Chain A
Amino acid sequence: MKNIQKIVVVLLVFMLALTACSKPATETPVVTDSDEITLVVWDQFYRPEESAVIEALNAEFEEAHPGIKIQREVKVLDDLKMTLKLALAEADGPDIAQVNQGRSDMGAMVEADLLLPLNDYLAKYSWGNVFSTSVASRNSFTADGKSFGQGNLYGVSPTAEVVGVYYNKDLFKKNRWSVPTTFEEFQELLAKIKKAGITPISFGSLDGWNAIHEFSAIQHLLVSSDYINNLTYGVNNVSFDTPENQEAAQILLDWAQAGYFTDGFPGIGYDDCNNNFKAGEGAMTITGSWFAPELMTGTDQEFGFFLLPGLSGKQTMAIGGVGVPYAIRKTTQHPDLAAEYLNWMISPRAAELWAKAGMLPAMSLPENTNVKTNNLFGETLNAWETINKINAVGHYIDWATPTFYDTLVAELQKLLGSIATPADFTAAVQRDYAQFLKEQNK
């Protein structure tokens, strides 16, 4: 008798253990009412000011579409990237999700046939009027997921980004420096600021990725837009080992050796360097428009933004692009409704809400908007509109191959640490690129 009792206890414990590690079975049912439809949306707008924009748009969407409910799930980008691939393969996965651009995310998902091509909706909603073809190609792949920048449209991006130069207006005013209009003037300005005993460019390369921006911002002034497109999309067999890229690397190295960057920059992280800049250390910093909202609050300094000027003042490209796009799961039950939601997220109303939150919308603002633009946000918006208008939106070059990010980070650190010369740098990066092209064409 005693034995049986014990066996029962053991079995109970065992069953308890199993329930503890299995998925909770009592999740909220997807359909609550027989005629109510629920759209499940996964996004990565977790920062409070971003999240508020999405909440407002979702509420307005539900109001305009009676009987439809948005079930929103927010994740940080890294979490989203890690879980989304599996979730999209499930029958009850999210109907709509933000899918990161580039080969290793969107490309892989297209290859696995998880995303719905949006070409029909592109025509239906005239999205061609909302964003340029250059923007659309960033969210496009061929149906086999192999070729980037062409083929079907798989996502629409609500926000935009541009990389340029932030400057401390108070410091500039005090020292009578003016915003340079040519790259030559910019170089002279760097020397002048250094002479005044101030750090010209607040920069730290410990985290690596922002060194890519630093290099590529200069690179974008020296190369053609065709070259950047070919390089990023892996077409027309271009090389990274070019005189222009070597020159850009040389300029970056010269800046480092002339002491134009923060002292000890190899050991400083991105956030630390931004905090220093916000606190008034350093005259300028080179980074993206996402930094603007942070510089508009909680500081007594005034900051401005300009695009890195071209050689002899000629019109040139700037690194830029659109944010993480919304895409639709191929097997969703409600493709039309999901497309309606996507259209909602890139409406003029959405543009207005993003702008009010201090972030660049990928879409134009409505005509009679009351968004304040006589501030730092206005200057980033102006920069974005300038390059967008003349089709000079460059690329994040680390999209080019699945391993390009790692290679660029490691090789740039070697360059800046004087372990490698500019020629070594371009040659090492080219090895990665050539290897990729070889496998691509296999």
Chain B
Amino acid sequence: MVKITYVEADGRSYEIEAPEGWSLMEAAFHNGVEGIEAECGGACNCATCHVYVDERYLDKLPPVGPTEDEMLECTAAERRPNSRLSCQIELGAELDGMVVDLPETQL
């Protein structure tokens, strides 16, 4: 299991454990984290699972793919250097303990 902390824009936080192999989006969605809409269910089609990832873990993440890159240009909240679509990040042991900040809006 991988432990991730999600912090909503209003400061509420959720500590969640999810199986390796799930996506960062699924772990949040399954547990009812509100700041992730994930309308397309994780197919990189909607850009509503935008997150700001822990800078300390940036180099442990898979690189931003071309589809994700284009979708990140269209997020509702501003794109920052640590912006990712959480459906494109697979949970592995190396991400254990990561903190993820959620934007104010996804739509």
Asked if A and B bind, the verdict is no
Give B residues with C-beta under 8 Å from A: none
